[in-house]
Amino acid sequence: MISIEQTISKIESRNFTVGVVGMGYVGLPVALTFLEAGFNIIGFDVDRRKVDQLNAGQSYIRHIEESRITRAHGSDKFLATTDFSQVANCDAILICVPTPLTKQREPDLQYVVATCESIWPHLRAGHIVILESTTYPGTTEDVVLPILQKSGLKADEDFLVAYAPEREDPNNPHFTTSTTPRVIGSTSPAGLTVAACLYQQIVEKTICVSSTKTAEATKLLENIFRSVNIALVNEMKTIFMKMDIDIWEVIEAASTKPFGFMPFYPGPGLGGHCIPIDPFYLTWKAKEYGVNTRFIELAGEINRGMPDFVVERVTAALNAKGKPVNGSKILFLGLAYKPNVDDLRESPSLYLMNTLEEKGAIVEYNDPHIPVIPETREFPHLAGKRSVGIDSECDLMLIATAHKEYLDFDFAKIDVPVVDTRNVVRGQIKNLVKA
């Protein structure tokens, strides 16, 4: 049996090694935060390039200061590796791997499954395994546990299991890994006690819930709430545009109400690893219980239609100048899914770029945070394309991301149509087209 008192004593004394699987936008910040709190850290990733960069003290995520990576590199408490036999040297293993959708928009748990298959041969008594990846209710119990128990060890007796969904918001100046409360659920009271104690060493507040399913559902509710409200303002945008009403002015005015209103903002489509994907994890699981999630699916339909709405606005703007899309040179301003980061995950800019190229447009982009497009699962053919100057000649500019560099740019001097999907251009200019 696991000694809870001994485990907690090890955690509080920092005589405890935390393994983090997945050194990406979620795993790397949590690994660094535990390291900076005095824990021994082993960072696992199947991408040899990431491991080599970490072990060389180099940051590959723009908003994570290289000084943090340099300090980690210089510490004898940090190791990055592709060798999963090092799991045996950990006391806790945090799983922070992607949970995308298949082409059929169903949950794709291949990375979670592959990680668990890599862990179980090295699992030992006393371990606690914590899943952080966003997923549908039941994943921890129905997918993770059976694989880990291939080790011959029994969950809740020989090792502990918990679910603590990530709540990272890359480059958010107001909330960091440490200042964002952490929800935790477990398959046992012992697992909940240990997981809560562990996260209490790095976050200001932990919220313990009754089960892993409840914690999994909490994460989905958070992101579905955002998806539905973004769909609402996206639909309002298309309606108000026909009425010659500026949705951004409406939102600003409505936001002055001190109660009963929370602002959400329209855009060219949803991006990031959470909001475009997570709702479909619940819609898929709900079918198992004979429930149709009409409201959630309608929101998804509206949000997925926004890139095509932007293409229509681009086409109309070019037609107004007597030019077809075919053969026109279009300059994208911003590829990242949100401002001031280098995060391309699920970015609507990639879909827009691909769609306009298919229509014959010559597409270039400017993004001060993404000098070269890396390889992506959905659009590998765009990999290697390089950022050009914002002053490059073009037939149309398409503002897709509200980077701070664009907020200070004088668009009044641009002689071609400027299609603004993010309310970057303030005031009226002769060639402005809202989308």
Amino acid code (one letter) for 214? T
Distance separating alpha carbons of residues 15 and 128, to the nearest angstrom? 15
The pairing of strands 78-81 and 40-44 is parallel
Helix axes 66-73, 27-36, angle to 10 degrees: 60
Residue 172's SS3 state is: coil
Does residue 242 share a domain with residue 357?
Answer: yes
pLDDT tens per residue across span 261-313: 999 999 999 998 888 999 999 999 999 999 999 999 999 999 999 999 999 99
- Each residue's pLDDT tens digit, 77-126: 999 999 999 999 999 999 999 999 998 989 999 999 999 999 999 999 99
Residues 205 and 237 in one domain: no
165/241 same-domain check: no
Q: What percent of the chain has a predicted confidence (pLDDT) above 70?
A: 100
Query: How far is residue 384 from each of residues 58, 59, 213, measured CA to CA in Å?
Result: 21, 20, 41
**Residue 388 counted as domain residue:** yes
What per-residue string of b and e applies to 11-45 under the rule 16 or more CB within 10 Å gives b?
beeeebbbbbbbbbbbbbbbbbbbbbeebbbbbbb
Helices (H), 58-109: 66-73
How much is the pLDDT for 252? 97
- DSSP letter string over 213-242? HHHHHHHHHHHHHHHHHHHHHHHHHHHHHH
One domain, residues 304 and 424? yes
| Mean pLDDT confidence for 198-227 | 97
Asked if residue 189 is part of any domain, the answer here is: yes
Query: In the listed set 210, 244, 271, which residue is the last one of a domain according to the structure?
Result: 210
188: domain CATH number is 3.40.50.720
Confidence check: pLDDT of 1 > 80: no
- From residue 41, alpha-carbon distances to 13, 77, 78, 92, 111 in Å are 15, 6, 5, 10, 21
Residue 429's pLDDT band (cuts 50, 70, 90): confident
Residue 292 counted as domain residue: yes
Residue 226 in domain: no
**pLDDT value, residue 228:** 97
Is the per-residue pLDDT at 23 higher than 80?
Answer: yes
Are 167 and 304 contained in the same domain?
A: no
The H helix count followed by the E strand count for the chain is: 15, 13
Helix (H) or strand (E) holding 132: none
Please tell me whether residues 314 and 197 are part of one structural domain. Answer: no
pLDDT at 426: 83
Instruction: Answer yes or no: is 225 within a domain.
Output: no
Mark whether 240 and 191 lie in a shared domain: no
Return mean pLDDT, the chain.
95
**How is residue 54 written in tokens?**
């970490």
State the Cα–Cα distance between residues 322 and 352, nearest whole angstrom. 22
- Domain closes at, from 210, 241, 264: 210
Active site residues: 274
Instruction: Select from 207, 5, 286, 262 the least CA-distant residue to 126.
Output: 5
Instruction: Give the pLDDT confidence of 105-119 residue by residue, as tens digits.
Output: 899 999 999 999 999
Give the C-alpha separation, 167 to 192, whole Å. 18
Assigned domain for 195 exists: yes
Whole-number pLDDT of residue 169: 86
Q: Are residues 257 and 330 in the same domain?
A: yes
Which of 251, 359, 369, 374 shows the shortest CA–CA distance to 310? 359
Tens-place pLDDT, residues 29-54: 999 999 999 999 999 999 999 999 99
Query: pTM for this one?
Result: 0.93
Give the pLDDT confidence of 131-187 residue by residue, as tens digits: 999 999 999 999 999 999 999 999 999 999 999 999 988 878 889 999 999 999 999
Q: For 323-365, write each residue's pLDDT tens digit.
A: 999 999 999 999 999 999 999 999 999 999 999 999 999 999 9
The residue-averaged pLDDT of 63-81 equals 92
Do 54 and 72 touch, CB atoms closer than 8 A? yes
Q: At what angle do helices 294-304 and 278-287 cross, to 10 degrees?
A: 140
- Rounded Cα distance, 273 and 337, in Å: 10
Report the amino acid identity of residue 222: E
Residues 61 and 171 in one domain: yes
C-alpha distances (whole Å) from 342 to each of 35, 95, 167, 388, 419 are: 24, 23, 18, 16, 22
Same domain, 157 and 256: no
Same domain, 192 and 151: yes
Query: How many domains, the chain?
Result: 2
**Is 53 among the domain residues?**
yes
203 or 375: which carries more pLDDT confidence? 203
Whether the Cβ atoms of residue 224 and residue 278 lie closer than 8 Å to each other: yes
397 and 425 Cβ atoms separated by less than 8 Å: no
Q: What are phi and psi of 315, to 5 degrees?
A: -60, -45
Bridge-based pairing state of the strands 182-186 and 206-208: parallel
Domain of residue 260: give its range. 231-434
Domain assignment present for 216? no
| Claim to verify: residue 248 and residue 197 sit in the same structural domain | no
Q: What is d(CA 127, CA 104) in angstroms, rounded to the nearest whole number?
A: 36
Q: Do 111 and 73 touch, CB atoms closer than 8 A?
A: no
Question: How does residue 65 score in pLDDT terms, banded at 50, 70 and 90?
Answer: confident
pLDDT band per the 50, 70, 90 thresholds, residue 430: confident
Task: Using DSSP, state whether 201 is helix, strand or coil.
Answer: coil
Domain finish residue from 152, 180, 210:
210
Distance (Å, rounded) from C-alpha 129 to C-alpha 143? 13
